[in-house]
Amino acid sequence: MLPEPIKIFSEIFSKLPSIGPRQAQRLAYQIIGLGKARIKELADSIDALSDVKTCQNCFSIHFSGPTNENLCSICRDPKRLKNIIAIVEKETDLISLEKTRKYNGKYLVIGDLQKTGSLESEQKLRLGVLKKLIQKELGGKADEIIIATNPNTYGDLNASMLTNELKDFTKKITRLGRGIPTGGEIEFADEETLGSALERRI
């Protein structure tokens, strides 16, 4: 029989992506081997995750800290261009675009898009927030919306769907240039390739 703490740990961690019950058990034993000090450090880092929040404008995850801010640092930054908005699926895509240092606009983190080319209720809500912000802050039209979905069949399908949703709220809709190989993912593109794709967006 597994000790109760390992059993609970395994049940929780096996629900994470790419981790099954057996791998979760191995992970538990590996962590135990680190010693009490490192286990405490790991526990504290997990506990700190309870202080992260979702930005009310772009829906990215951010650390609010003692100020309890509702907006992330990008949405609060007055130097960021409000009239150019990149739509990404995941926070990791946002981070990858930021690393290029070639984009100075705002974002919308739409969430993982379905292979059916349709939106879930939470994604419809996020698009609704973006449309209201465009109407309120930009007079109804952004200068440009960049649809930064992955360059594969499903990314193309979802890009078409998002274009239909947002065409009345922007002067121009673009996509990342094909510097990223077809079938690739934004999250794993190197900075130079992704920067090139940003510069050559179409």
3-class secondary structure for the chain?
Answer: CCCHHHHHHHHHHCCCCCCCHHHHHHHHHHHHCCCHHHHHHHHHHHHHHHHEEECCCCCCEEECHHHCCCCCHHHHCCCCEEEEEEEECCHHHHHHHHHCCCCCEEEEECCCCCCCCCCCHHHHHHHHHHHHHHHHHHCCCECEEEECCCCCHHHHHHHHHHHHHHHHHECCEEECCCCCCCCCCHHHCCHHHHHHHHHCCC
Closest-CA residue to 185 (of 115, 110, 96): 96
Q: Where in the chain is CATH 3.40.1360.10?
A: 69-199
pTM for the predicted model, two decimal places: 0.76
**Does position 21 have pLDDT exceeding 60, yes or no?**
yes
Model pLDDT, residue 66: 55
- Third-level CATH fold of 69-199: Dna Topoisomerase Vi A Subunit; Chain: A, domain 2 (3.40.1360)
Q: Where in the chain is CATH 1.10.8.420?
A: 4-51
pLDDT band of residue 146 (cuts 50, 70, 90) is: very high
CATH of domain 4-51: 1.10.8.420
Higher pLDDT, 2 or 59: 59
For the stretch 41-58, pLDDT in tens is 998 898 888 878 899 999
**Does position 184 have pLDDT exceeding 70, yes or no?**
no
> Averaged over 156-174, what is the pLDDT?
94
